[in-house]
Structure 1
Amino acid sequence: MFERFTDSARGVVYGSIEQSRRAGDACVEERHMLAALLDAEGTRTSVALATIGFVASRDEIERGLARARRRGGISQADEAALADLGIDVGEIVARVEQTHGEGALAPARRTRRLWPFGGRTGHVPFTPGAKKVLEQSLRESVARGQRHIGDEHILLALTARPGVVADLLAEYGVTHTAVLGALAPRAQAG
């Protein structure tokens, strides 16, 4: 599948690995892919985001991801479903943090695997969710009759898969439908 990736899509994959390393994480997650997409300039994704009117700063996105991480990675949809059952996630987070400290519900950072002699393998694995995003990017490409997988397909995949990243992007108007609309005129012209 990787042979179908455009240079910009490969840049996102390599960028997400670098984002993971900088964060001190042992695996690449969807949030790292989002960060790599937002760092890329002059790509189909950057044009689509500008067309949609996405104006959030990188710091705003990081704060949104940190809020979700603090809630244990619960998406807004999950939080709403729990609220329908009478469960207040904010109250639970507050109580847990009162007892165990701030960020107690945040997933623990994984440590990197080391070779027996102390050297790092250099390989940074992708979480199952991140792998699903890459698989979804292939589906997004095939659905449009395209033979390549571009950075825009990764963005479409991130918005199509339910979860924290899709919820956060939706807060800024970046939905699957909005991205499709922003890409449609360029797809016809290109």
Structure 2
Amino acid sequence: MFERFTKGARAAVTGAVTHAERADAGSVTEEHLLLALLDQEGSRASFAVAALGLKARRASVEAALADARRRGGMTKADAEALADIGIDLTAIVSRIEEAHGEGALLRGRAERRWWSGNRAFTKEARKILEKSLRIALGRGDRFIGEEHLLLALTASPGVVADVLAEHGATYGTVDRALYGDGDAGRDRRAG
């Protein structure tokens, strides 16, 4: 699959590894992929990111991702569902942190590394890479670009997609920013 990645998509993947290393994370996550895409300049994905205002609101995106990490990776929808049955996730996180220290629910710090010392990609991050291939094929593209990675991040349920949606970057808005309104009837989500 990686032979189909454009130079920009490869840069996003290596950038994600760099973000994981800076965070001292044991694995590369979909969050690291998003941060690497936000770093890029001069690509289709960076144009869409800028057009949707994500570059200007990067600090807000990063704060929302940090808040989700603090909640142990639970989405806002998860927190709302728990609240509906009378469970205050914020109070639980606070109590856990009081007992076990700040950041007790952070994930990914102690996960295994490959024998070479490189960080492995989490199952969720690998699914993003696979989904980017399906999106590229669904669009009729013979390559996987960083724009396909961005679309895959918006189309995969989880914290990153939720944070992107909170900031106005849904699959539909990203698709329109990338490709305009042409081919509106064609389903390009590709599973």
TM-score higher than 0.5: yes
The number of residues matched between the two structures is 183
Which runs of 5 or more residues in structure 1 are unaligned?
A: 116-120
Q: CA deviation at 1:86?
A: 2.1
Q: Give the match for residue 189 of structure 2.
A: none
Q: CA deviation at 1:54?
A: 2.8
Deviating above 6 A after TM superposition, structure 1's stretches of 4 or more consecutive aligned residues are none
Q: Give the match for residue 87 of structure 1.
A: 87
CA 1:170 to 1:102, structure 2 compared with 1: closer, same or farther past 3 Å? same
Whether the aligned pair in 2 keeps the contact of 1:64 and 1:168 (CA below 8 Å) is: yes
Q: CA deviation at 1:113?
A: 4.5
AA aligned opposite 2:79: E
Q: Give the match for residue 184 of structure 1.
A: 179
Summarize the alignment of residues 31-180 of structure 1 with structure 2, pairs less than 5 Å apart.
31-107=31-107, 109-110=109-110, 113=113, 121-180=116-175
CA 1:108 to 1:133, structure 2 compared with 1: closer, same or farther past 3 Å? closer
AA aligned opposite 1:4: R
Whether the aligned pair in 1 keeps the contact of 2:27 and 2:113 (CA below 8 Å) is: no
1:5-44 CA-to-partner distances (Å, cap 9, x unmatched) read 1111011011111111121122111111011101110111
Question: Within 1, Cα distance between the matches of 2:181 and 2:40?
Answer: 18
Q: CA deviation at 1:50?
A: 2.2
Whether the aligned pair in 1 keeps the contact of 2:69 and 2:106 (CA below 8 Å) is: yes
1:31-69 CA-to-partner distances (Å, cap 9, x unmatched) read 110111011101111111222233444333322211111
Q: TM-score, normalised by structure 2?
A: 0.87
Which runs of 5 or more residues in structure 2 are unaligned?
A: 184-191
1:144-176 CA-to-partner distances (Å, cap 9, x unmatched) read 111111100000011111111111111110111
Question: Within 2, Cα distance between the matches of 1:101 and 1:129?
Answer: 27
Secondary structure of the 2:35 match is helix
Q: Give the match for residue 118 of structure 1.
A: none
CA 1:114 to 1:43, structure 2 compared with 1: closer, same or farther past 3 Å? closer
Q: CA deviation at 1:83?
A: 2.0
Stretch of structure 1 that moved more, 50-59 or 89-98:
50-59
Question: Within 2, Cα distance between the matches of 1:139 and 1:38?
Answer: 22
Secondary structure of the 1:73 match is coil
Question: Within 1, Cα distance between the matches of 2:40 and 2:55?
Answer: 15
Secondary structure of the 1:148 match is coil
Whether the aligned pair in 1 keeps the contact of 2:113 and 2:119 (CA below 8 Å) is: no
AA aligned opposite 1:146: D
Whether the aligned pair in 2 keeps the contact of 1:48 and 1:183 (CA below 8 Å) is: yes
Identity across matched positions, percent: 54
Q: CA deviation at 1:186?
A: 9.3
